[in-house]
A and B are shown apart, each in its own frame.
Chain A
Amino acid sequence: MVARKGSAFRVRLFVQIFFFVLIALITLSKVLDEAGYTIPFLSTASLHALCPFGGVVSIYQYVTTGTIVKKVHESSLILMYVVILLTLLFGGVFCGWVCPLGSLQEWLGNIGRKIFKNRYNSFIPANIDKYLRYLRYGVLAWVIYATAVTGKIIFEEYDPYYALFNFWSSEITISALIILGITIIASLFVERPWCKYACPYGAFIGLGNLIRVFKVRRNSSTCINCKACDRGCPMNIKVSESNLVRNHQCITCLKCSSEQSCPVDNTIDLSLKGEKM
């Protein structure tokens, strides 16, 4: 028995909107708090305090000196551990369900899909695209190195996520706004361009796809090779070509699954090893 098609889409959309609105409201709450107003029951934490990537870039300093990188707080470390747990269980679920920048790109992609129809998300030739997908590991290595050397969250100057929720602030650099602008425009042509090619946190989380407990599995005995799963995948993963998705770019959005794209029940699912499908 499979849930109605569309139900999975609505659940994920609800979770995405929930986290997007929550972060936007907390950012607003902080601004109002500094001006002497308060929104009841809402945190006034800074965006840095709520970003798990702050914990990742702080690790070197935390281990070597016991202190945290400037502007990052203990809450970032907690969130880092929470996301690591989620990643070990379900792979890139944070990217696919929680990250507001990922959600924004996805929503903008819906406009691009209406404009370009089948050409959407296939503008970059596959032989170039496959190498570009490793760029984000270079970004991750640079961010960790630069943060360790300077003791500052150096990535803030380029971070489109920080720019998205603080675009009016004098703290936002032109470079971050430009990268946000490029990401927004590129989202009309390519699904989740920042996630695919440049996000250092996505790179970190993506490694979890290799060892996660619950994996996206394809039952080849019931598969009708219609490739609907391939077409449904926002990250262009060829789900139909293997029985187990271990791709480092999977965001566990379940768009390929029998709950959404796949027309055959119980053929593509997120499940534990050994599960009979």
Chain B
Amino acid sequence: MRIRANALGLVVIIVIFGGIAVSSLVGFWNTTNTKVPAQITSGEYAGSNDPADIRGSYSFADIRKNFDIPIEVLAKVFGVDEKNAEGFKCKDLEALYTNLKESGTEIGTDSVRYFVALYKQLPYTPSENTFLPSTAVKILKDKGVLNAEQEKYLESHNVVIK
């Protein structure tokens, strides 16, 4: 059996779009995130939503829904106008604080993960360059959720954003 170019072109298109069509029919074709994080599967916190799975595309409203943290708190912590906070995406923090990134200090999606983990007292290890705004540290201290080790770490990993 010999395949000519005309047939090959047709087969390529049919296989690609056929694959998409079949996977759509059975419900596997998904091009967007469900905005529901994976759950922690083992240990003391099993069954809790995992802050590590917060994506940059999550809005503050998604964070509120999944982790029960008030929008006002998130807006205040990350210096976002409360009127726009519902739809504000975690990944937009990087653009908001580009000036900090240039100095090796990063406020972005990982900061949200870290803040959520501390606020809800869930396990999470941030990356070395991840910082929290000083407003976040104050709120966490006021809430009384930080242990001595976390307080010490945050002394060197917080930044004044405004």
Contacts and interface: CB of A to CB of B under 8 A. Distances in A.
A159 B150 CA distance: 36
Interface stretch (A76-84, A135-143, A202-210, A240-248): A76-84
A240 B26 CA distance: 46
A129 interface: no
A223 B38 CA distance: 59
Interface stretch (A90-98, A106-114, A228-236): A90-98
A46 B15 CA distance: 21
Interface string B1-21: 111111011011101100110
B15 A97 contact: no
B31 A3 contact: no
B129 interface: no
- Name the interface size band of chain B: 20 to 34
A271 B4 CA distance: 9
A82 B20 CA distance: 9
A74 B28 contact: yes
B8 A70 contact: no
Nearest to A45: B31
Contacts of A12: 5, 9
Contacts of B9: 11-12, 14-15, 97
Contact of B8 (A75, A81, A97): A97
Contacts of B1: 214, 271-272, 275
B81 interface: no
A49 B6 contact: no
B5 A259 contact: yes
Contact of A82 (B2, B3, B15, B91): B15
A266 B31 CA distance: 43
A271 B95 contact: no
Given A15-B9, A86-B12, A78 B28 contact: yes
A107 B2 CA distance: 28
B68 interface: no
Given A50-B31, A70-B55, A3 B13 contact: no
Contact of A45 (B6, B32, B56, B57): B32
B147 interface: no
A15 B6 CA distance: 10
A269 interface: yes
A82 B30 contact: no
Contacts of A101: none
B28 A90 contact: no
Contact of B5 (A7, A50, A71, A272): A7
A257 B30 CA distance: 38
12 contacts: A3-B5, A7-B5, A45-B31, A70-B53, A75-B30, A78-B19, A78-B20, A79-B20, A86-B15, A86-B16, A93-B8, A170-B98
Given A89-B11, A170-B94, A271-B1, 13 more contacts: A11-B5, A46-B31, A65-B38, A78-B23, A78-B28, A86-B12, A90-B11, A97-B9, A151-B52, A171-B91, A214-B1, A269-B2, A271-B3
Interface of A: 3, 7-8, 11-12, 14-15, 18, 43, 45-46, 49-50, 65-67, 70-71, 73-75, 78-79, 81-82, 85-86, 89-90, 93-94, 97-98, 151, 170-171, 214, 252, 254, 257, 259, 266, 269-272, 275, 277
Interface of B: 1-6, 8-9, 11-13, 15-16, 19-20, 23, 28-33, 38, 52-53, 55-57, 91, 94-95, 98
Lowest 7 CB-CB distances: which A-B pairs, in order? Answer: A8-B5, A45-B31, A82-B19, A49-B31, A74-B30, A271-B2, A272-B1
